[in-house]
Structure 1
């Protein structure tokens, strides 16, 4: 998913449970949003059932960590909890599971510290990293040049945006251009809001009814709107769109071609150059020893695999 810097985007997973009761016929889809995780979202930790083994501490990389991190033995990492398969709540409704938390725990093992996740709204993580409220942040944020002015990104995944619709609309909606006179659910603060607004102007210029954005503070609201027919489409990150389509038992379908290809990056304070280097080298080590690939395979997101951990590798899209 991609954001504009302003605008709130609180992720309230608890809303999913209440919505699920009201939409019993669509529980598989709503459960995947975060309230009651699916079986995929409750897979065990990295050392179990074929997951990557625990990583050995690299003393040289550990020495690059800020003094307060070395002394506390903890990295404070901002993360969300409702964007499967990248991140969601486990069966205990407390533990974060998914590709992102598993990858960060492995990075922490290489650096010899415990990773402590702190739930944060999406729009707050740049400011939180800048103010050092968090040491790092990982929350499916695209690495874009304008964001590189505020934080440094260590890229860990390549991704894009995509469109999800109910099966009945799969033949009539295949791109942003098909949204004239239709409504698309999007998360507040994301670039997908901009996409719909831009398409609305294009529709008007062509003499067609404008596209309309239904903006929600979290992905749960977006999927509720799509499931109940309030929205004709949901536009979001391709990994979660593909996941929701798979979890919907044929009720939902990803349509058209993904667009806006950019990497997701781990956010680091621009002044913490040694921490950037430590995270980059730890991630590269996981790539080289195969643990990174196993984590992506475990969460069925191998399509986003990177060969190299780059710093600020995102370019204008």
Structure 2
């Protein structure tokens, strides 16, 4: 998910998931066992050497406190109980934490509040589809673990005739603080510079609300991170379709405090360890997002 002049993500938290799930239930098309994420949780065996490298302040209670914005299915979103955070980001980081001998505890927060929370010490790590970019690297260390691009989506049949390369005059939904917001604002400026109507941009605090706005017809289209857009389309029971190609692919990263470079290095080693033991691939396949798999984790990659 790109965000904050970088990106992050898009869709389906409680509100949007509920809206789309209702339409699916009415048609009775899919059994729960066919849903992405169904089945037993993926686990990884602890690595005592890696666990020994975790800073004492973090491993003292055996828990790592995670800040996440649980409105971004299939990366991170609330389960049907309305409180448990699930998704491929969660499944994968649980395996990484297990490698380090830790248990991850998730707290949902607005996306743009998570990195400040990491910096202040409220969270020991941010796990929320953060695209790694130069701006974020000024304030936190980031460890790569996935790759995603931006994808447009619209109502099936594209009734508003949206062209991603010329969306002047259209109504477009994005989540607050995302790279997608930067993207659509730049596109709108090109429209007005050329004497064409601006793009009407609706910003939503939760990606689920942005998705629901497209389903309802309030907005003509939305931009989101590619796995999120694809998942929203899959879950929409034929109401949405992807539009155009995926572009500007970039890595997601786990975020830790800038002064915790040693811990970030251990995280990188733990990601590499779950890649090596197969739990990484298993977690991504479970959620149907293996297309974003990486082979090598990096600390603070610059390109």
On whether the aligned pair clears a TM of 0.5, the verdict is: yes
Distance in 2 (CA, whole Å) between partners of 1:229 and 1:170 is 10
The answer to whether 1:4 aligns with 2:35 is no
Q: Structure 2 matches for 1:23-34, cutoff 5 A?
A: 26=23
Higher RCO, 1 or 2 (CA under 8 Å, sep at least 6)?
Answer: 2
CA deviation string 1:9-28 (max 9, x = no partner): 9x9955458x73xx897467
Post-superposition shift, 1:250? 2.1
Determine whether 1:70 maps to 2:65.
no
Question: Residue 224 of structure 1: SS of its match in structure 2?
Answer: helix
| 1:77 match: secondary structure | strand
* Equivalent position of 1:141 in the other structure: 130
Match of 2:256 in 1: 268
State the superposition RMSD in angstroms. Answer: 2.6
Q: Assess if the C-alpha contact under 8 Å between 1:41 and 1:84 holds in 2.
A: no
- CA offsets per residue over residues 132-159 of structure 1, 9 Å max, x none? 1111111011000121110011001011
> What are the superposed Cα offsets for residues 212-244 of structure 1, whole Å, 9 maximum, x if unpaired?
101111112211211121111011111111111
Q: What is the match of residue 258 of structure 1?
A: 246
Deviations, residues 160-187 of structure 1 (Å, cap 9, x unaligned)? 1110001131793342x22111010011
- Alignment match of 1:239 (pick from 195, 203, 227): 227
- Residue 26 of structure 1 contacts residue 227 of structure 1 at CA under 8 Å; is this kept in 2? no
| Distance of 1:155 and 1:310 partners within structure 2 | 5
Q: Distance in 2 between matches of 1:221 and 1:172?
A: 22
Distance 1:24 1:98, change over 3 A: closer
Judged with a 3 Å threshold, the aligned counterparts in structure 2 of structure 1 residues 259 and 72 are, in CA distance, closer, same or farther, namely: same
Equivalent of 2:201 in 206, 213, 217: 213
2:174 touches 2:201 (CA, 8 Å); kept in 1? yes
Other structure's SS at 1:180 match: coil
Match of 1:112 among 80, 97, 101: 101
Cα distance in 1, alignment partners of residues 292 and 193 from structure 2? 36
Measure, in 2, the Cα distance between the counterparts of 1:73 and 1:314.
32
CA contact (8 A) 2:171 2:201 kept: yes
Output the TM-score relative to the length of structure 1. 0.85
Shift of the alpha carbon at 1:5?
6.7
1:90 paired with 2:85, answer no
3-state SS of 2:60 partner: helix
**Of 112, 116, 123, the match for 1:123:** 112
Which consecutive unaligned segments of at least 5 residues does structure 2 have?
Answer: 26-31
| Separation (CA, whole Å) in 2 of partners of 1:116 and 1:100 | 13
Q: Distance in 1 between matches of 2:106 and 2:70?
A: 10
Between the aligned partners of 2:148 and 2:161, the Cα distance in structure 1 is 25
Shift in Å, 1:75: 0.6
Cα distance in structure 2, aligned partners of 1:27 and 1:179: 30
Asked whether the equivalents of residues 196 and 212 of structure 1 are also in contact (C-alpha less than 8 Å), the reply is: no
Query: Could you tell me how far apart the structure 2 residues matched to 1:269 and 1:215 are?
Result: 28
Structure 1 segment 170-181 matched on structure 2, within 5 A: 172-175=161-164, 177-181=165-169
